Structure 1
Amino acid sequence: MSEDAFRAALSRLAAGVVLVTAHDPEEAPRGEDAGMTATAFVSVSLDPPLVLVSVREGARMAELLERQPLWAVSVLAESQRHIAGRFAMKGRVSDRLLFEDITWTRGAASGAPLVGGALAVLECRTEQWVPAGDHVLVVGRVLTAATPTGDGGPLTYFRGRYRRLD
């Protein structure tokens, strides 16, 4: 099977879009925040409350999550397409620039950025780290969960584009 055929088949599965964030206290001088857009995010268990996110092996976020067990997830609203696009950029753009002009607060449990206006925010602690092909599956125990706005529809990704539900 070709990579193109596999990618085309999976592009027909609509997925919610989230921003995964973490705070790296080791970065000088005051620590640094990092984030990545993800569509491979699912709930795993209600008891205990677990979620899973897939992260590309070798990505800055994978390196950070391997040494920093606390992280957060912001479920993006359809009006936050610009945030998803910004954090989906490939390469090592300065994370400080990525968070510029975005409303966010620091999570009390994780220290990670929580996006203002998100449909839901979760703070997590890594429970399992599972290598899977060219990605790692990070299973996190949810420490806190909130639905700060509840307004608007979710941002979705389908056939290679961000979409809105009608």
Structure 2
Amino acid sequence: MARLAAGVVLVTAREAPLAEDGPRGEDAGMTATAFLSVSLDPPLVLVSVRTGSRMDDLLEEQPLWGASLLAESQRHIAGRFAMKGRLSDRLLFEDIPYRRGELTGAPLVRGALAALECRTEQRVAAGDHTLVIGRVLTAEVPHTEGGPLAYYRGRYRRLD
């Protein structure tokens, strides 16, 4: 499957929804290359998440999440969130420019090719992964220079 080129997406969620008077959870994120559009009506996307991972556990508890479709200039972001034995979740976002999704509170990367806010509709066990199908609540496509970040044969690449 390393010969199948894939776009690179940062999937993010807030441990607890933002609340004016309540506790605020931590942000979490993961780099995903198994991300796709499932349906236009209703608008649905799918992300494959390793079963038992921090993100799998979080998305089981928290149905609201975000997806930032990374630009070729954001390779460092993809690499940071894909590292094994990585930094704590709090440090992962430390110098990454992002904004909060209005509906989800999830971090959405500034400069990404597109930003989606989603709500989980269905979770499907599939081997050692969980397929998370989310309804797109909002989609933003800012004017961004450059092309998409791709992953092919174990490396991040530009599509030329």
**TMscore range, shorter length:** over 0.9
2:14 is equivalent to residue 20 of structure 1: no
Residue 99 of structure 2: aligned partner? 105
2:41 is equivalent to residue 47 of structure 1: yes
Percent identity for Structure 1 against Structure 2: 77
Query: Once the 2 structures are TM-superposed, how far is the Cα of residue 29 of structure 1 from its aligned partner?
Result: 5.5
2:95 is equivalent to residue 117 of structure 1: no
CA contact (8 A) 2:80 2:86 kept: no
- The separation in 2 between residues aligned to 1:33 and 1:107, in whole angstroms, is 12
Query: Once the 2 structures are TM-superposed, how far is the Cα of residue 91 of structure 1 from its aligned partner?
Result: 3.2
Q: What code does the residue aligned with 2:8 have?
A: V
Query: Once the 2 structures are TM-superposed, how far is the Cα of residue 102 of structure 1 from its aligned partner?
Result: 0.5
Query: Once the 2 structures are TM-superposed, how far is the Cα of residue 51 of structure 1 from its aligned partner?
Result: 0.2
Residue 54 of structure 2: aligned partner? 60
CA contact (8 A) 1:22 1:111 kept: yes
Query: Once the 2 structures are TM-superposed, how far is the Cα of residue 90 of structure 1 from its aligned partner?
Result: 1.7
Q: What code does the residue aligned with 1:135 have?
A: H
2:32 is equivalent to residue 32 of structure 1: no
- The separation in 1 between residues aligned to 2:120 and 2:15, in whole angstroms, is 15
Q: Secondary structure at the match of 1:127?
A: strand
TM-score norm. by structure 2 comes to 0.94
Aligned length: 156
- The separation in 1 between residues aligned to 2:90 and 2:149, in whole angstroms, is 24
- The separation in 2 between residues aligned to 1:45 and 1:30, in whole angstroms, is 33
- The separation in 2 between residues aligned to 1:72 and 1:149, in whole angstroms, is 19
Q: What code does the residue aligned with 2:62 have?
A: Q
In angstroms, what is the RMSD of aligned CA positions?
1.4
User: What are the ranges of 5 or more consecutive residues in structure 1 without an aligned counterpart?
Assistant: 1-9
User: What are the ranges of 5 or more consecutive residues in structure 2 without an aligned counterpart?
Assistant: none
TM-score norm. by structure 1 comes to 0.91
Deviation track 1:101-121 (CA, whole Å, cap 9, x = no partner) reads 100000001110000100000
Q: Cα gap change, 1:155/1:92 in structure 2, threshold over 3 Å: closer, same or farther?
A: closer
Q: What code does the residue aligned with 1:130 have?
A: V
- The separation in 2 between residues aligned to 1:132 and 1:90, in whole angstroms, is 22
Q: Cα gap change, 1:29/1:109 in structure 2, threshold over 3 Å: closer, same or farther?
A: closer
Deviation track 1:26-70 (CA, whole Å, cap 9, x = no partner) reads 8x9531000000000000000000000000001000000000000
Query: Once the 2 structures are TM-superposed, how far is the Cα of residue 150 of structure 1 from its aligned partner?
Result: 3.4
